[in-house]
Amino acid sequence: MSAPVQQRWPSPEDERWGDRLRVRLAVEHGVPAPVAEEAAEEARLACRESGRPAEELFGPADEHAAEVARERVPVERRAAVDLDGGSPRDRWTLCLLGAGWGGSLGGVLLLVTQGWTTPVTPAALAVLAATAAGWTGAAWGVLERRDGRLERGWAWAAAGAAGVVAGAAAADALRDRPALGELPVPLVLLASAALVVAGLKLPQRPAALDARAATGDPGEWFERLAGVLRGRFHLTRGDVRDRVEEARGYWRDSGSAHPRDEFGAPEVHALRLVEGSDEPRRRRSRMKAWFYGALTLYWGTTVVDTALGEGFGGELLWRAAAVALTASLLVGAWRGSRASAPAAGS
């Protein structure tokens, strides 16, 4: 049954605008569903009453989502998460979802290249362990860095890299060992789907500000400010140094006992320093573009090597698909680094 006329958007374009608004509020800004629905409903009613398109009334959906988040979500809550609305408390969710989606892709590739069953070898298990270690180190490292914990981020990345190296060495040492048995490929797909469901159902704890930095000595407060500006908002070292020194000088001139008395929590002050600027998102997109560019170059090299060595076949097809995927991600990231974006941290 179709929705009543009074509950519809005036046009399909407005409806798409409203859908994008809901998605941006939920995914990018972490706005609770009732608040997002309320904002979308207010926009829909305004469109119907005025007879004007949503974009004409409120601007692009992405920008309006940032404005709604600023107005309706407390600054402390917005300051506790990164540009994607995440925090280190989401690490298990991220790992489960990443493992699930990666396993699903791997299961499809096994189904295409191996059929309904695949041999389980010690070398393959070592590769699987190396992949898990690398993914965990990368995911946890990124979350720690975005939380402003740069040293922790590098430590997790190093641990993941060490796991990959160890796993690769073990796989090379075990490559001549016979298979341990046969694994049904549909079981891989079912296990991957279970991981995705578990990740989606995992209880989420709300992100919180670092109380220790806000109440510790002033030096720790300024260190935390620098870490958030650098790791979460991607400011250059020079910009971070200037912002921190400016805040330090203002605090000294104020005569207050602690920086929190002037600025509040360091995460809150960092957010206020960059709010209204699209540079943090542009810098993040630029970093992604470099990463996806490296992946595209790697997969492109493997495609050429496979084509010269084995010719046309299933392996060439899935490697070519990997090139197409990473290249599309590269293009999207590059466009993001060149285009205007919603206010950072909002």
Distance CA 81, CA 207 (A): 6
Q: What is the DSSP string of 95-129?
A: HHHHHHHHHHHHHHHHHHHT-SEEEE-HHHHHHHH
pLDDT of residue 344: 40
For 109, the 3-state DSSP assignment is helix
Question: Region 273-282: what's the mean pLDDT?
Answer: 84
Tell which wins on pLDDT, 7 or 178.
178
Q: Which two tokens stand for residue 3?
A: 């929705």
Joined together, the tokens standing for residue 155 give: 């430590």
**pLDDT for residue 66:** 82
**Are the beta carbons of 236 and 226 closer than 8 angstroms?**
no
Q: State pTM to two decimals.
A: 0.76
DSSP character at residue 25:
I
Predicted confidence band of residue 343 (pLDDT cuts 50, 70, 90): very low
Given a contact cutoff of 8 angstroms between Cβ atoms, the answer to whether 88 and 147 are in contact is yes
Give me the pLDDT at residue 246, please: 93
Q: Where are the beta strands (DSSP E) in the chain?
A: 117-120, 181-184
pLDDT over threshold 80, residue 311: no
Q: pLDDT digit string (tens) for 75-100?
A: 888 888 888 777 888 788 888 888 88
Residue 301 contacts residue 247 (beta carbons within 8 Å): no
The model's confidence at residue 154, banded by pLDDT at 50, 70 and 90, is: very high
pLDDT tens, residue by residue, 212-254: 766 678 889 999 999 999 999 999 999 999 999 999 999 998 8
| pLDDT, mean over the chain | 84
